[in-house]
Amino acid sequence: MRPGDVVEVRSAAEILATLDKDGALHGTLFMPEMMAHIGQRLTVSRRVDKVCNMVDESGSRRMRGTVYLEDLRCDGSSHGGCQAGCRVYWKEEWLRKVDDNHAARLGAAGMAASAELERTAGAATHPAIPVDESGAQVWRCQSTDALKASEPVRRRDIGQYWRELTNGNFNPIRFVALLVRAMAMDMLHHFGLMKTLPLQGPGKVGSKREMLGLKPGELVRVRSAEEIAATLDHRGESSGLSFDREMLPHCGGTFRVKTAVQRIVDEKTGRMLKIPKDCIILDGVACSGELSVNGRWFCPRAIYPFWRESWLTRVGDTADQPTEQSCHR
């Protein structure tokens, strides 16, 4: 399947028949949040042949027979209210291609099959004994099980780039431009001429910490790189939250607040992390996988970056000082 293909999510009975005892196909979980899309007709937005590895950060991972459908994301409703908003992996076996002459099926393979699929998916997501050695509750999702659903990719494996050129994710001109830039950035990083995090602050702790109490739907402007740097410590963090290079292009931009994050499932441990300090997701702002210097080039996950309120200002506030200065460095 390729970007632009119109597909239909198969019936509950058909999907159930593909799952193993762990509720997964080739290591990829079918999660309860995906049940709502059974029978729907959707468009493939991107092939998932390579993803960044956030579990043990040992390098990129190769995935097979997997696609994204539009911008469908997990709403966390069956994962304790996780607010990470990860894009959902769809195995090709769970989909069928359709065309304009194909009447979309409703996927009604019987209430029994739907109930059994929902039970299987729920059991896999939330094990019967959901605790680790510390007694904390543990969750499973497609992100926590990413290593089971993929295999290692060597950083200089030419095949990963050939796949991105031929799988329809990029047109050739854009692909070449991105690859040349990525290789140049990687070379600079290798020789210590470019840091992993783009901004470092003035000292042990950042000098600014402004609280705005932002709510979903509010309009905000991202501050300039210089203003944000003033809030960071010498490690490029604000109270443990780093400012990533993928966030730089959004400096000076105006966006709406999507949500204030209070809890996410940790991909490494499956434990629910409660976020005590301000942590904001901006609507329409996601990691591009095109500016990283650690081999994450062409990763399609489009993870939402987290923003401190001190990196933002309300549009219309007297303190809001729009600037034409570019953030790129």
Kindly tell me if the per-residue pLDDT of 328 is higher than 70: no
pLDDT digits (tens, 9 = 90+) for 57-106: 777 899 999 999 999 999 999 999 999 999 999 999 999 999 755 554 54
SS (H, E, C) the chain: CCCCCEEEECCHHHHHCCCCCCCEECCEECCHHHHHHCCCEEEEEEECCEECCCCCCCCCEECCCEEEECCCECCCCCCCCCCCCCECCEEHHHEEECCCCCCCCCCCCCHHHHHHHHHHHHHHHCCCCCECCCCCEECCCCCCCCCCCCEECCCCCHHHHHHHHHCCCCCHHHHHHHHHHHHHHHHHHHCCCCCCCCCCCCECCCCCCCCCCCCCCCEEEECCHHHHHCCCECCCEECCEECCHHHHHHCCCEEEEEEECCEEECCCCCEEEECCCCCEEECCCCCCCCCCCCCCCCCCCCCCCCECHHHEEECCCCCCCCCCCCCCC
Confidence of residue 135 (pLDDT cuts 50, 70, 90): low
pLDDT at position 325 is 37
**pTM assigned to the model:** 0.87
For residues 189 and 40, the model is more confident at: 40
